[in-house]
Structure 1
Amino acid sequence: MPDTAPSIPRPPSSGTICVVGAGFMGCVIATLYAHHGHDVALCDMNTELLASFAERARPIAATFADDPAAVDAMLARVRTEPSLAEAVKGAFMVHEAVQEKLETKQALFAELDAFCPPEVVLATNTSSLLLSDIGAKVNGKQRILGLHYITPGHIIRSIEVIHADFTPASLVEWGRAFVESIDHVGVACGERPGFLINKIQFAMLTEIYRLMDEGIASRDDIDAAVRLSIGPRLALWGPLLTEDLIVSKATALAVTDSLYHQTGDENYKGRKALRDLVEAGHMGAITGRGWYEYDAPYAEIVLERDRQLTDLLEWLRERDPVGRLAPR
């Protein structure tokens, strides 16, 4: 990433943000920004969407406040504006959430480039398109940043901070700081198909679709296998910390190599990053170092690991979320 950038001040704790696109995601994003004290100009050519914003946003706002007056005050910070030129005035950031069509986003960003001063950040909520393609017609590409929310965006705290080759490192840090200011967590990743979260998510789902096609396991058994084994561990610790806490790197490498030799599928082949750890003797928490480093004795780590997992599984058992949500 380049080291220089247009003069972009740190994200303000309050200010004006323009959200372009009043559909589902635009509605969520605008409400979230209003909740965190920003004035929002919500722009869309579809005046019916603008007119229905408050009705659609009220349940979202209600997740932040029980008091109807507080909800009203939150929604009052969002003004609807059909004119893009008017909506962007005074904004420190424009966040695009329009249709996931390249030509639509390209045309919009070309307009934003013309309307907005150089210090205004131009963010996109794209879930699949590359920043370099979206900004193909933009002169000031250095201010384009991906801020991709994961549905439901007002609840899921992780936001992808996506950067291209032309994105300055300072803008990535700006994005992280902004995301932190709205009580979310920014995960930075370079542009590539699927970015970070969908790349991981669909690697798992693609394998699950294959298991379903082959009749290896039923729908219910697949869901139970994930939610009662992989799911809770990932929710607590993520995949790499889970591996450190649960299994030796040597075992992890042996399993991946075994799957590769049985299937011939290159996706199962042990990767360099894992092999390097094994060759260096960094087997995980058991040796004091794996993907992470550990100061506490291994026995203490295991006790705390098991307490956290037991607490979460008991919490899930008591609430029976599957029984409440899943259709027959």
Structure 2
Amino acid sequence: MSTPRNITVLGSGIMGPGIAAVFARSGADVTIYDVVQDALDRAAEGVKVAEGVLDKLDAARGDRQGELSFTTSIEEALAKAEYVLEAVPEREDLKKQVIAQVESLVGPEVIIASNTSGIPITKLAEDMKHPERFVGMHWSNPPHVIPLIEVVPGEQTSDATRDAVVALANSFGYEAVLEGEVPGFVENRILYAIMRESLALVDEGIISKEDMDICVRWGIGFKLAVVGPMRLLDMAGLDTYNNVASYLNRDLSKTDGVPQVITDNIEAQTFGFKSGKGLFEYGEGDVAAKRAQIVSQLIQVRNAMPKPLSSDQV
């Protein structure tokens, strides 16, 4: 599937602006929809930031630069849509409501994708008239920096829909990984396993939160950016893994709830960057500076990686 000429992104929150910037750079005219005008105004600024980052990445371009428009009218947003990506807040009832609206306003040939980070695709599609054209298309955050998309078909998603979304992602230089349905999808399951163990070790006083971040960034992250866990097993030796796992796995955190340090922060209304305090404290200007530093370092890493990443898997 080449990039459609007209794409609609429903939702202008954290992910919408970056996704729209990638689509527009690949040649699509993109309409961003939200129910709140202030959110659209912020999204317009977010798109400009994302476009600047894509320039620094020398990201793939289509044969034209697509135009962007913003609207609070879902009818206007979908009037010319050839492809729809739903990126509204992560609530099943809200997503189902939006998907039903979309189905009533577009033809049966239009693919409807969801950027849900873990709600089962089959569940979201259960009331659809044409569930065969519905699929999960989960982007990583920030979506204009991390060139990975998880493609997750539901039980009734057609092969044609699945293949079209994979081809679309590949057309603008992103890796598309095919996954079966599982709560959280694959990326978040691995990430949350790391965060669960990290929080447990900090909570037990084994390591400080500062040293934990250094340990994971250098000891794990640096390595995994170059060799994935499956290849790492071969590199280390399956016999070595067998020996270590036989005693270590039983000692890893098995908590099935949210760690106390997180619930304490939630009760205190300290959410991290968005509130100026979380596990760390941030003074005036610190959050903006830290965000800029993170994006800058992600750009450096992405520019150093093979393109596409799958080319070095043999």
Q: Identity percentage over the alignment?
A: 30
Q: Secondary structure at the match of 1:237?
A: coil
Q: How is 1:239-250 mapped onto 2 (pairs within 5 angstroms)?
A: 239-245=229-235, 247-250=236-239
Flag structure 2 segments of 5+ consecutive residues without an equivalent: 57-63, 256-292, 298-314
1:21 is aligned to 11
1:6 is aligned to none
1:280 is aligned to none
Q: Is 1:36 the equivalent of 2:26?
A: yes
Q: How is 1:167-186 mapped onto 2 (pairs within 5 angstroms)?
A: 167-186=157-176
Counterpart-to-counterpart distance in 2, 1:234 and 1:84 = 42
Deviation at 1:181, TM superposition (A): 0.9
Letter aligned with residue 227 of structure 1: R
Counterpart-to-counterpart distance in 1, 2:158 and 2:207 = 47
Deviation at 1:266, TM superposition (A): 8.2
Q: Is 1:220 the equivalent of 2:215?
A: no
Q: Is 1:87 the equivalent of 2:77?
A: yes
Q: Is 1:203 the equivalent of 2:230?
A: no
Q: Greater CA radius of gyration, 1 or 2?
A: 1
1:258 is aligned to 247
Structure 1 residues 139 and 37: alpha-carbon distance in aligned structure 2, compared to 1, 3 A threshold:
same
2:266 is aligned to none
1:102 is aligned to 92
Runs of 4+ in 1 over 6 A off after TM superposition: 264-267
Deviation at 1:264, TM superposition (A): 8.9
Structure 1 residues 265 and 14: alpha-carbon distance in aligned structure 2, compared to 1, 3 A threshold:
closer
Q: Secondary structure at the match of 2:165?
A: helix
Question: Which range moves more in the overlay, 46-55 or 159-168?
Answer: 46-55
Q: How is 1:260-299 mapped onto 2 (pairs within 5 angstroms)?
A: 260=249, 263=251
Counterpart-to-counterpart distance in 2, 1:221 and 1:183 = 35
Counterpart-to-counterpart distance in 2, 1:214 and 1:49 = 41
Deviation at 1:131, TM superposition (A): 1.2
Flag structure 1 segments of 5+ consecutive residues without an equivalent: 1-10, 67-73, 268-320
- Map Cα deviations across residues 166-197 of structure 1 (whole Å, 9 max, x no partner): 12233222111111112111111122211010
- Map Cα deviations across residues 214-261 of structure 1 (whole Å, 9 max, x no partner): 11112232222222222211000111112212x11111112111224x
Counterpart-to-counterpart distance in 2, 1:139 and 1:92 = 18
Structure 1 residues 123 and 76: alpha-carbon distance in aligned structure 2, compared to 1, 3 A threshold:
closer
Structure 1 residues 64 and 224: alpha-carbon distance in aligned structure 2, compared to 1, 3 A threshold:
closer
CA contact (8 A) 2:10 2:86 kept: yes
* TM-score, length-scaled by structure 2: 0.74
Aligned residues: 252
Q: Secondary structure at the match of 1:258?
A: helix
Counterpart-to-counterpart distance in 1, 2:38 and 2:248 = 54
Counterpart-to-counterpart distance in 2, 1:24 and 1:229 = 29
CA contact (8 A) 1:131 1:145 kept: yes
Counterpart-to-counterpart distance in 2, 1:153 and 1:254 = 39
- Map Cα deviations across residues 105-160 of structure 1 (whole Å, 9 max, x no partner): 11111111121111111011111211122223211111111111111110101111
Q: Please, what is the CA RMSD of the aligned residues?
A: 2.4
Q: Secondary structure at the match of 1:29?
A: helix
Counterpart-to-counterpart distance in 1, 2:102 and 2:86 = 10
Counterpart-to-counterpart distance in 2, 1:97 and 1:221 = 35
Question: Which range moves more in the overlay, 151-160 or 51-60?
Answer: 51-60
Deviation at 1:101, TM superposition (A): 1.1
CA contact (8 A) 1:20 1:26 kept: yes
- Map Cα deviations across residues 57-88 of structure 1 (whole Å, 9 max, x no partner): 2111111237xxxxxxx987011122212211
Deviation at 1:14, TM superposition (A): 4.6
CA contact (8 A) 2:16 2:43 kept: no
1:62 is aligned to 52
